[in-house]
């Protein structure tokens, strides 16, 4: 039974960057109501309104995994671990994006699956086998016909973006070899609740997984988690190592039960936890607006740092326009010179002196806080202050 616990109001599609600002009152049809619910039976947290995949993941998709050093190094580390521990003959990545992971493997040993044609083109052009298709049973059958089976399937920040999870796992089951391993990695619901990071919710994040919910889900497909890792990436993620229940090659680590117990201690299996979370979200909105309004009153300028999908949720939920945050800056070519979705705030191309003209920087890419603060030390020394809303709106010391 799905129970709505959070309403983040009318929102645009998070990655729909436009050349012109949208006048909200005129373009209501382009907005959707972002509500988040908890399924009391399966314990799965999801958004209630589902946008068709074709509208979100198409040939104009702007997000590139390789845009941050943090992600590049996380994928590199994982690739080394995979080679050392599992040494797969063939690895397939669902949602291979611009190849940040697969580029660490020999071309004959990896397959990319990426429905966003602009991204798939990048890996195709580099000579990697890439299927520019959505992950489904038809594609799994096509790959099976050619390669027979795959002994490792990896997917980061992708499965939470696919509405039909039954199709996802049935297709994985179809292709994965009997002793094969599935690794999935997505933002952790526990970290989201602990960090009050309500901006993890937007149209692309249909689900936010907990280990509790993933365990329940996998059970339906005769799959199980045999190991887990907590990662610092994307604001705190969980990496699940999964096998068939019939596969006795891998022992189940006690890290799995430890994680599930911690999640239960934090109440992730109870609706009341999510109701409390929604109260904190409202408090966060009020505090952030108070900070931004005070800066405006003092006639100081703020720039948003990192035009993230997460920031789109914050801007639209808190109704922040350019009167509060003058501009955003980002390194992604597809975002530059466009406007933050739903708002009149223009995204400027990042250059190393851009922060010079601002007194404050709102950390849109708060998940890269370390990397960014380190990069901008010079400006901080000269008086620039970073603002973050995670876990609660404040200035960063």
- Residues lying near ligand DWN in the complex (CB under 6 A) are found at 63, 67-68, 157, 204, 234, 306-310, 330-332, 335, 350, 365, 367-368, 371-372, 375
For residue 394, the minimal CB distance to ligand DWN (Å) is 19
For residue 87, the minimal CB distance to ligand DWN (Å) is 27
56 token code pair: 């979100």
For residue 11, the minimal CB distance to ligand DWN (Å) is 14
The order of strands in the sheet holding 45-47 is 2-11, 32-39, 45-47, 207-208
Q: State the Cα–Cα distance between residues 120 and 112, nearest whole angstrom.
A: 8
234 token code pair: 């994307």
The strand pair at 150-156 and 91-94 is best described as: parallel
Helix and strand numbers (H, E) in the chain are 12, 17
In terms of CB distance, is 6 or 372 closer to ligand DWN?
Answer: 372
Confirm if 264 and 212 have CB atoms less than 8 A apart.
Answer: yes
Name the strand (E) or helix (H) holding 2: strand 2-11
Q: State the Cα–Cα distance between residues 333 and 175, nearest whole angstrom.
A: 36
Q: State the Cα–Cα distance between residues 123 and 162, nearest whole angstrom.
A: 22
In terms of CB distance, is 111 or 312 closer to ligand DWN?
Answer: 312
For residue 354, the minimal CB distance to ligand DWN (Å) is 10
For residue 201, the minimal CB distance to ligand DWN (Å) is 11
Question: Does residue 368 sit in helix, strand or coil?
Answer: helix
Looking at the DSSP bridge assignments, the partners of residue 257 are none
In terms of CB distance, is 234 or 243 closer to ligand DWN?
Answer: 234
In terms of CB distance, is 35 or 375 closer to ligand DWN?
Answer: 375
In terms of CB distance, is 259 or 367 closer to ligand DWN?
Answer: 367
In terms of CB distance, is 98 or 224 closer to ligand DWN?
Answer: 98
For residue 31, the minimal CB distance to ligand DWN (Å) is 18
């Amino acid at each position: 039974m799905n129970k709505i616990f959070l309403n983040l109001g009318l929102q645009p599609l998070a990655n729909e960057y436009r050349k012109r600002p949208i006048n909200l009152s005129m373009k209501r049809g382009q907005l959707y109501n972002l509500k988040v619910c908890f399924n009391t039976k399966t314990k799965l947290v999801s958004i209630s309104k589902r946008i068709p995949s074709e509208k979100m993941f198409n040939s104009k998709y702007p997000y590139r995994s390789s845009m941050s050093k943090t992600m590049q190094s996380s994928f590199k580390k994982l690739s080394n671990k995979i080679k050392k521990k599992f040494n797969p003959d063939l690895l397939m990545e669902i949602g291979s994006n611009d190849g940040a992971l697969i580029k660490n493997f020999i071309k004959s040993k990896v397959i990319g699956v990426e429905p966003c044609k602009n991204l798939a083109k990048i890996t195709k052009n580099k000579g990697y086998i890439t299927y520019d298709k959505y992950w489904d049973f038809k594609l799994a059958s096509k790959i099976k016909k050619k390669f027979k089976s795959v002994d490792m399937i990896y997917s980061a920040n992708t499965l939470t973006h696919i509405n039909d999870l039954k199709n996802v796992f049935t297709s994985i089951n179809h292709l994965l070899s009997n002793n094969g391993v599935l690794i999935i990695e997505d933002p952790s619901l526990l970290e989201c609740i602990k960090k009050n990071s309500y901006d993890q919710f937007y149209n692309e994040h249909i689900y936010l997984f907990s280990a509790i919910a993933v365990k329940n889900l996998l059970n339906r497909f005769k799959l199980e988690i045999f190991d887990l890792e907590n990662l610092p990436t994307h604001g705190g993620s969980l990496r699940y190592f999964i096998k068939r229940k019939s596969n006795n090659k891998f022992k189940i680590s006690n890290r799995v039960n430890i994680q599930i117990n911690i999640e239960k201690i934090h109440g992730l299996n109870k609706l009341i936890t999510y109701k409390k979370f929604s109260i904190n979200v409202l408090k966060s909105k009020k505090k952030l607006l108070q900070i931004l309004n005070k800066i405006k009153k003092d006639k100081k300028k703020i720039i948003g740092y990192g035009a993230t999908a997460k920031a789109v949720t914050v801007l639209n939920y808190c109704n922040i326009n350019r009167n509060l945050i003058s501009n955003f800056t980002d390194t992604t070519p597809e975002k530059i010179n466009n406007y933050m979705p739903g708002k009149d705030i223009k995204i400027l191309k990042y250059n190393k002196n851009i922060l010079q003209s601002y007194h404050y920087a709102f950390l849109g890419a708060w998940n890269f806080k370390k990397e960014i603060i380190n990069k901008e030390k010079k400006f901080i020394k000269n008086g620039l202050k970073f603002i973050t809303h995670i876990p609660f709106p404040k200035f960063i010391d």
